[in-house]
Amino acid sequence: MRYPARIVSLLVLSGAGRSSTSRVASAFAPGTSAPSYMYSTSSTCLFSIVDEVTAEMKTAMKAKDTTRLATIRLIRSAFANAQIEVKTDALTDEEAVNCLRKMAKMRQESILMFKDGGAEDRAAAEQAELDVIGRWLPQLADEELTRKWVVEAIAATGVNDMSKMGMVMGALMKNHKAELDGKFAQRIVKEELLSK
């Protein structure tokens, strides 16, 4: 059984015995880390993303993982700013994910910029932060699933030409916003409409 990274962190934080943590560690192939956290809106989730980030910060402090700790502090700061912006005492998982997506996008852009400029060390530092942020981001749909949803949205809206592409995107994002890369989905929509 493969445990999400969130469970591994919480087991360690809660002081689970060596036998428990060793069973979790053995679930992964030698030399590999726990898989990225897959976001879920399921009501069975016991911890919010904000709570998990806080738990992970304590784990990073104990491990003296400076990169992870510094990134998590940036995440918590971004969450605090988002709380002020939306005027709430606690962010929902959806709001937290939106915040994390913005942070991830900034780093993705920085990585490209640094690589283009030959600053591989700075690109690597941005990538390390992106890896931490990605632990709490949803796993986005691949091309096959995205195309399936696009075809369904086209059928549901009855659109058959590019002039009404916005209707297809609207239907698509309404049902799958948290699961899609918007730009990638737009490209697939164009391909499907142009093939008609």
Query: What secondary structure does DSSP assign to 79-125, as a single string?
Result: HHHHHHHHT-SS--HHHHHHHHHHHHHHHHHHHHHHHHTT-HHHHHH
Whether 35 and 4 have beta carbons less than 8 Å apart is answered as yes
Most confident of 7-16, 23-32, 73-82: 73-82
Q: Which two tokens stand for residue 172?
A: 């698509």
Helix (H) or strand (E) holding 78: helix 66-86
Q: Higher model confidence: residue 96 or residue 23?
A: 96
- Where residue 20 falls among pLDDT bands split at 50, 70, 90? very low
Lowest mean pLDDT among 40-54, 65-79, 171-185: 40-54
**Cα distance between residue 118 and residue 100, in whole Å:** 27
Q: Higher model confidence: residue 178 or residue 164?
A: 164
Whether 149 and 172 have beta carbons less than 8 Å apart is answered as yes
What pLDDT score does 27 carry? 31
